[in-house]
Amino acid sequence: MTDDPKIDKSDLRRTIREERRRGRRPIDESILKEKRLLLRGLLAEKDEVTFRASIRALGLQEGSSSWNSALEAWHNYRREHDRERCGRL
């Protein structure tokens, strides 16, 4: 910071905070919740190609941590679902 007496340091700090926040959009929790619900519904999808296309349509970037988490959840769901089906036979 500067030692210039004409500059109010609290105003300078506030301006710096505002500039750091500029360009960041607020997170809309309702949209995130809706996406999570859609992803849970997609777990029942039997075909991985269709699942991948669906999560891509939801805006997940291939290779991102969200993408990898969704795929891992799908694989786990399919494994568990197949295990349950085999147990019923």
**pLDDT tens, position by position, 11-48:** 778 777 777 776 666 677 888 788 888 888 888 888 99
Helix or strand or coil: residue 3?
A: coil
66, pLDDT greater than 60: yes
Residue 69: band (very low, low, confident or very high) from pLDDT cuts 50, 70, 90: very high
Interior angle at CA 30, CA 27 and CA 31, nearest 5: 70
1 has a pLDDT exceeding 70: no
pLDDT score for 87: 66
25 in the Ramachandran plot: left (φ > 0), alpha (ψ -120 to 50) or beta?
A: beta
